Chain A
Amino acid sequence: MMKIFVSVFALCLLLGSGTVSAGVTLEAFKFDTPAEELHFKQLIEELRCLVCQNQSLADSDAELAHDLRAEVYEMVQAGKSDDEVVEFLVARYGDFVLYNPPVKPSTYLIWFGPFALLLLAIFLLVRAVGRQKRTAVTDITPEERARLDAALGTTPSQQDKQR
């Protein structure tokens, strides 16, 4: 069972990361080196298509995705940096085109919300556990304890030691 779980997990990792998928047949873009091609593909994987909103520019077959790929290709070939390409697209289409949203006031909730919830959960957990410990000791009346000891066959001194 464990083995199956591990292999499924490994498969997920393999599918989810690293692999630069060419979802659609990319236009015949020419690159001087394979490294340049890889760089281009990684760049368009990070950008979101506005038409099919759950696909990256690399995956989408929409008209606009074709046009934007060509635009990005030309900019990369012209020696523009990744930041310049991303800025070009953000200026026109907004942060929506980024799969990796920038950290700024309007995105604080996305970036820090989960951590805030985690801290809150830890705080509540610690408090709940602490309260439970305290109540466990004081809840029992001496008569109840005597009955408990009798039932369990333990002596009061042993009980105290265990506590």
Chain B
Amino acid sequence: MTRYLRYLVPLAIFIVLAAFLYRGLSIDPKRVPSPLIGKPMPAFSLPRLQDPAATLGNTDLTGKVSILNIWATWCVSCRAEHEVLLLLARTGKVDIYGLNYKDERPKAQQWLTQLGNPYVANAFDADGRVGIDWGVYGAPETFIMDKQGIIRHKHIGPITVDDLNNEILPLIAQLQATP
């Protein structure tokens, strides 16, 4: 038995090491898990993008399943994601709100007129303070809240059609089904 151990131990160490390294290949270090998951959304109240006189706040998002998408016109991958958000909005299954993050108002308004508007409403976060409260570190980021206003999911980076079908839509269906 000890004779075999001499060969089995290095083999076992190799297998464990290889498993860790293999796992490491598929982890994206840019995706930092959010500590906000499972917690109520951070309170905020900001002027709206399209109507600066009106405000949009966390209370507008509670009482229903909602999505908060953080975007900006300077964010290149937001443009790619925009198409997917339009698709999601067209399903009518969830209200999408936007947090226009550290952007310029005329540019952002123009973006929505040109590319289409998937949002129910947008909050205009000029200095990024609300972004910090939500732990935003790079647009686009997307939060999904349940009916109680608890954050259930954070998607970092642009949502693809695959993400929509495999991740976002199933979660929304599940959250819509629970009271």
Decide yes or no whether B32 CB sits under 8 A from chain A.
Answer: yes
If over half of B's interface residues share one DSSP class (helix, strand or loop), that class is named, otherwise mixed; here it is loop
* A71 vs B132: C-alpha distance when bound (angstroms): 9
Q: Which residues of A contact B102 (CB under 8 A)?
A: 63
A63-B102, A67-B128, A71-B132 known; A90-B137 Cβ under 8 A: no
Decide yes or no whether B116 CB sits under 8 A from chain A.
Answer: no
* A90 vs B128: C-alpha distance when bound (angstroms): 18
Q: Pick the most buried of B33, B34, B36, B137: most chain A CB atoms within 10 A of its CB.
A: B137
A53-B29, A63-B102, A67-B128 known; A92-B138 Cβ under 8 A: no
User: Which of A50, A68, A92 has a CB less than 8 Å from the CB of B36?
Assistant: A92
Q: Which residues of B contact A64 (CB under 8 A)?
A: 128, 137-138
Interface residues on A, range: 10 to 19
Shortest CB–CB separation between residue B56 and chain A, in angstroms? Answer: 20
Decide yes or no whether B51 CB sits under 8 A from chain A.
Answer: no
* A67 vs B135: C-alpha distance when bound (angstroms): 12
Task: Mark contacts of A94-109 with chain B using CB atoms, 8 A cut-off: 1 yes-contact digit, 0 otherwise.
Answer: 1110000000000000
* A50 vs B32: C-alpha distance when bound (angstroms): 8
Task: Mark contacts of A43-70 with chain B using CB atoms, 8 A cut-off: 1 yes-contact digit, 0 otherwise.
Answer: 0000000110100000000011001100
Q: Pick the most buried of B30, B32, B34, B36: most chain A CB atoms within 10 A of its CB.
A: B32
Decide yes or no whether A91 CB sits under 8 A from chain B.
Answer: yes
Q: Which residues of A contact B35 (CB under 8 A)?
A: 90-95
If over half of A's interface residues share one DSSP class (helix, strand or loop), that class is named, otherwise mixed; here it is helix
Task: Mark contacts of B135-169 with chain A using CB atoms, 8 A cut-off: 1 yes-contact digit, 0 otherwise.
Answer: 10110000000000000000000000000000000
User: Which of A51, A71, A93 has a CB less than 8 Å from the CB of B135?
Assistant: A93
Q: Which residues of A contact B60 (CB under 8 A)?
A: none
Decide yes or no whether B134 CB sits under 8 A from chain A.
Answer: yes
What is the chain B residue whose CB lies nearest that of A70?
B127
Shortest CB–CB separation between residue A123 and chain B, in angstroms? Answer: 14
Chain A stretch 104-124: residues in CB contact (< 8 A) with chain B: none
Q: Which residues of B contact A96 (CB under 8 A)?
A: 32-33
* A93 vs B154: C-alpha distance when bound (angstroms): 12
Task: Mark contacts of B7-46 with chain A using CB atoms, 8 A cut-off: 1 yes-contact digit, 0 otherwise.
Answer: 0000000000000000000000110111110000000000
Q: Which residues of A contact B132 (CB under 8 A)?
A: 67-68, 71, 92
Q: Are B134 and A92 in contact (CB under 8 A)?
A: yes
Q: Are A92 and B135 in contact (CB under 8 A)?
A: yes
Shortest CB–CB separation between residue B34 and chain A, in angstroms? Answer: 7
**Given A67-B128, A68-B132, A92-B36: 20 more A-B contacts, CB < 8 Å:** A50-B137, A51-B138, A63-B128, A64-B128, A64-B137, A64-B138, A67-B132, A71-B132, A90-B35, A91-B35, A92-B132, A92-B133, A93-B32, A93-B34, A93-B135, A93-B137, A94-B35, A94-B135, A95-B35, A96-B33
